[in-house]
Amino acid sequence: MGPAGGGRRPVRRVPRQCRRRSRPRWRLGSLRGDVRVRRRRGGPRLRGRRGDAALRPRFPARRPRRRGSVPGRRRVVHRNRLRSPLVSRRHDADAGGPSELLEAKAALRERVWSALKDADADRFPGAEGRIPNFIGAEDAAERLRGLGIWGQAATLKANPDSPQWPVRQRALEDGKRVYMAVPRLADPRPFFLLHPERIEQSPRKASSIKGAGREGRPVEMDALEPVDLVVVGSVAVSEDGARLGKGGGFSDLEFALAREAGLIGADTVVATTVHEVQLVDPGQIPMADHDVPLDWIVTPDRAVRCQERHARSGGIRWDALTEEKIAAIPLLARIRGG
């Protein structure tokens, strides 16, 4: 029944900004004490106390549009940013060796990765499938910093993985030159040279993977200087000097390249920083001829001098490399081609 006067009931006008379909619209139904009743137009009534999750939309808000983008237009990746499948593919199973040896190494990796996760000792970006970043990496780097081998070294070669980031940072802070391998050796100049007197950013930023790409100078193998200390990342280690990597063989290959160029000698010290969980009993890590043995194992709690060291490889073992791996690493293809 209409209002007095016989006219029709006036229609409530909804403001224009409330008519957009892209955002949730709420109507305040009633307010009884501290219980608020809200209803989404065309949806169910939601009850809850003020600030409760029931009063908020149950679907995410629309993501803000990128600056300069056009609605409805697909993002096009420039062709120069596309990488070859051979370069972008992970070679985690291409380290070479008998199948029994590779299976034993893979089983040990899975065991150590699970142990780190169960002990809540891993941290971003996680442990599985990589050189695991662990809680206490900074303490291990400080313990390595206090050893005599650190003070005697003027030039350091380090891997680009996250757990050795504190080691690279402290090396720059102490005025040491740092050679850092290009990730996956995917460049004809496979190493960055980080010089402590030529970096513009802080040692921490310059020693990161992104910072090394900006601050480091790519160098050829012929321009490298002799290395005093080699720091490698590890998945599992033992006190007899055995080391297990993530399975790609890149640390062993970096070592072999420097060994063949005469930058690493028979007495060059090789050290690693790991968590205590990553130490296994001697004899559990199967070693191949091309695997790099360790001299020092440094954890957040202690430093272990490896008494029994395995023999070092004299250079590149071409029989342990697959054709796909050689094609993915430009330096290897150039060396073999002469």
Kindly report, residue by residue over 155-210, the tens digit of the pLDDT. Answer: 999 998 999 999 999 999 999 999 988 877 767 788 899 999 999 999 999 999 89
> Taking 60 as the threshold, does the pLDDT of residue 49 lie above it?
no
Question: Does residue 69 lie in a domain region?
Answer: no
8 and 15 Cβ atoms separated by less than 8 Å:
no
Asked if the structure places residue 13 within a domain, the reply is: no
Q: pLDDT: is 21 or 208 the higher one? A: 208
- DSSP single-letter state for residue 180: E
CATH code where residue 268 lies = 3.40.50.10420
CA dist 302 and 243 (Å) reads 17
Mean pLDDT of 293-302: 96
- The range of the structural domain enclosing residue 293 comes to 99-337
**Is 164 contained in some domain?**
yes
Q: Is 197 part of any domain?
A: yes
pLDDT digits (tens, 9 = 90+) for 39-48: 445 555 545 4
The whole-number pLDDT of residue 260 equals 76
Global confidence as pTM: 0.69
User: Quick check: is 66 in a domain?
Assistant: no
For the chain, the average pLDDT equals 77
Position 32, amino acid: R
pLDDT in tens, 245-289: 988 777 778 788 888 777 888 889 999 999 999 999 999 998 877
> Strand 243-244 to strand 279-280: parallel, antiparallel, or no bridges (unpaired)?
unpaired
State how far the Cα of 249 lies from the Cα of 64, in Å rounded to an integer. 43
Give me the pLDDT at residue 254, please: 79
Q: Is there a domain that residue 46 lies in? A: no
Which residues are 238's β-sheet partners? 280
3-state secondary structure of 19: coil
Domains: count for the chain:
1
pLDDT at 56 over 70: no
Separation CA 83–CA 314 (nearest Å): 33
Q: Is residue 49 part of a domain?
A: no
181 or 1, greater pLDDT:
181
Going by C-alpha positions, the residue among 189, 149, 192, 155 that lies closest to residue 172 is 155
Residue 177 lies in a domain: yes
- Compare 230 and 5 and report the one with higher pLDDT: 230
Q: Which of 195, 191, 182, 96 is nearest to 154 (CA)?
A: 195
